[in-house]
């Protein structure tokens, strides 16, 4: 029913407006008594519990960063059955992001192009919200994804990341360093091992006991992905998130004029499935068996999640398919995983 509703009605709205409208509903679902009724329908089966990062996840399936940039919908997303919520990307300095329009649907491909540009309220505002959340939803697993502030030069990025980590790590269940978004100038250059190593070292020191992960891009050559995975192990990180959006436009069904009109930005959704599996399998050949690998990209169905878990993912995240499959997507995934 939801796919028909989406095509007939929701797809007519501006994507960013539709996202904010949907988030308003999700926020309501996170408040009693709505949250009680929602959880009764969506609570993951106890057999799906996963222990990772020193934490207990009620399901291996969670929400990727980008959906809830400012930690406003965490309670609602948890009520909808997601095993964890990774908020952000959060920057030390508040920023509006790139000019609108900056979010585009490719409906035929069940995909999205975004060039949001880390629009968020900043580390201080998000920290205050997280502190309040911790009092009201202590059992929800919350990851915090941090990125470079746009006003900060690339050569000063380490201090900027450290500022965010210092403010947010004490309130996060885990922290993810985002050096892989294509929408902040110069950011992906930080993935070079010689640059990334001191950055991760400094952020890890600032994060204290909070598990630290790094999120990589799918567009890197395989040898660079392997090198970053090894670096994450050598630097004592808790895990790696594979992966962010892609700048590739290969293999799309949407007509080229529509794709070109959307312009620059990161592509997410179903077209990333094959590369996502390749990167996951590559990373798993490098890191130890107990090293946390979070797989993200092209995940739509319970079968997709099962495939990622079978390929070595510790946890799996999704985002884009939420737009196409509707509010009970998390429940659909969890029910399909029972007895896997």
CATH code of residue 220 = 3.20.20.70
* pLDDT of 17: 94
Query: Given CA atoms 274, 276, 280, 282 in this order, what sign does their dihedral have?
Result: positive
Give residue-wise pLDDT tens across range 171-216.
999 999 999 998 898 889 999 999 999 999 999 999 999 999 999 9
Compute φ and ψ for 151, nearest 5 degrees. Answer: -75, -10
Confidence category of residue 9, pLDDT binned at 50, 70, 90: low
Q: 270 versus 3: which is more confidently predicted?
A: 270
Give residue-wise pLDDT tens across range 277-310.
999 999 999 999 999 999 999 999 999 999 999 9
Q: Determine the Cα–Cα distance for residues 327 and 31; give it in Å rounded to an integer.
A: 16
Structure tokens at 189: 């250059």
Confidence category of residue 339, pLDDT binned at 50, 70, 90: confident
Q: Determine the Cα–Cα distance for residues 138 and 172; give it in Å rounded to an integer.
A: 11
| pLDDT averaged over every residue in the chain | 95
Give residue-wise pLDDT tens across range 325-335.
999 999 999 99
DSSP secondary structure, 145-169, as one string: EE---TTS-GGGHHHHHHHHHHHHG
Q: What is the domain extent for residue 87?
A: 2-337
* pLDDT of 4: 58
Q: Residue 6 above 60 pLDDT?
A: no
Its pTM stands at: 0.95
Contact 313, 287 (CB under 8 A): no
Q: Each residue of 196-215: b (16+ CB within 10 Å) or e? A: beebbebbbebbeebbbbbb
Total domains in the chain come to 1
In 10 A of CB 291, how many CB atoms? 19
Specify which residues 214 forms β-bridges with: 177, 240
Q: Determine the Cα–Cα distance for residues 71 and 88; give it in Å rounded to an integer.
A: 7
Q: Determine the Cα–Cα distance for residues 316 and 187; give it in Å rounded to an integer.
A: 24
* pLDDT of 3: 60
Confidence category of residue 85, pLDDT binned at 50, 70, 90: very high
Dihedral angle at the C-alpha atoms of 18, 21, 23, 25, nearest 10 degrees?
A: -130
Residue with tokens 């429940």: 331
DSSP secondary structure, 69-106, as one string: TTSSSHHHHHHTT-S-EEEEEE-SS-B--SPSP-EEEE
* pLDDT of 219: 96
Give residue-wise pLDDT tens across range 32-66.
999 999 999 999 999 999 999 999 999 999 999 99
Q: Determine the Cα–Cα distance for residues 179 and 189; give it in Å rounded to an integer.
A: 8
* pLDDT of 2: 56
Q: 2 versus 190: which is more confidently predicted?
A: 190
Residue with tokens 């996060």: 172
Query: Given CA atoms 220, 86, 72, 173 in this order, what sign does their dihedral have?
Result: negative
Q: Determine the Cα–Cα distance for residues 40 and 53; give it in Å rounded to an integer.
A: 27
Cα of 35 vs its chain's centroid, Å: 23
Give residue-wise pLDDT tens across range 207-265.
999 999 999 999 999 999 999 999 999 999 999 999 999 999 999 999 999 999 999 99
Which residues have a catalytic role annotated? 181
In 10 A of CB 100, how many CB atoms? 13
Give residue-wise pLDDT tens across range 125-176.
999 999 999 886 667 999 999 999 999 999 999 999 999 999 999 999 999 9
Q: Determine the Cα–Cα distance for residues 117 and 127; give it in Å rounded to an integer.
A: 20
Query: Apex CA 311: angle with CA 309 and CA 313, to 5°?
Result: 45
End-to-end CA distance of the chain: 26
Q: Determine the Cα–Cα distance for residues 36 and 30; give it in Å rounded to an integer.
A: 9
Helix axes 302-310, 329-337, angle to 10 degrees: 50
In 10 A of CB 265, how many CB atoms? 21
């Amino acid at each position: 029913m939801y796919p028909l509703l989406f095509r007939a009605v929701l797809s007519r709205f501006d994507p960013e407006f539709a996202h904010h409208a949907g988030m308003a509903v999700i926020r309501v679902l996170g408040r009693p008594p709505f949250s009680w009724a929602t959880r009764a329908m969506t609570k993951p089966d106890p057999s799906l519990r996963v222990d990772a990062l020193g934490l207990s996840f009620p399901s291996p399936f969670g929400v990727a960063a980008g959906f809830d940039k400012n930690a406003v919908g965490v309670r609602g997303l948890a009520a909808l059955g997601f095993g964890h919520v990774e908020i952000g990307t959060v920057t030390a300095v508040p920023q509006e992001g790139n000019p609108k329009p900056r979010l585009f649907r490719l409906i035929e491909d069940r995909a999205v192009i975004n060039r949001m540009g880390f629009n968020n309220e900043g580390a201080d505002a998000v920290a205050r919200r997280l502190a309040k959340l911790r009092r009201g939803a202590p059992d929800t697993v919350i990851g915090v994804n941090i990125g470079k502030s746009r006003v900060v030069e690339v050569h000063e990025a380490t201090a900027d990341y450290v500022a965010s980590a210092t403010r947010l790590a004490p309130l996060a269940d885990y922290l993810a360093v985002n050096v892989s978004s294509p929408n902040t100038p110069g950011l992906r250059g930080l993935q070079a091992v010689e640059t990334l190593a001191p950055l991760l070292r400094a952020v890890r020191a600032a994060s204290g006991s909070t598990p630290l992960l790094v999120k990589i891009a799918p567009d890197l050559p395989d040898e660079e992905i392997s090198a970053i995975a090894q670096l994450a192990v050598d630097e004592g990180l808790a895990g790696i998130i594979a992966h962010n959006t892609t700048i590739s436009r290969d293999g799309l069904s949407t007509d080229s004029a529509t794709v070109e009109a959307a312009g620059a930005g990161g592509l997410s959704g179903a077209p990333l499935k094959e590369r996502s599996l390749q990167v996951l399998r590559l990373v798993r050949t490098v890191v130890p068996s107990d090293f946390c690998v979070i797989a993200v990209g092209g995940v739509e169905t319970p079968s997709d999640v099962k495939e990622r878990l079978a390929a070595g993912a510790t946890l799996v995240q999704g985002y884009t398919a939420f737009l196409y499959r509707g509010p009970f997507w998390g429940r659909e995934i969890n029910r399909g995983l029972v007895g896997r």
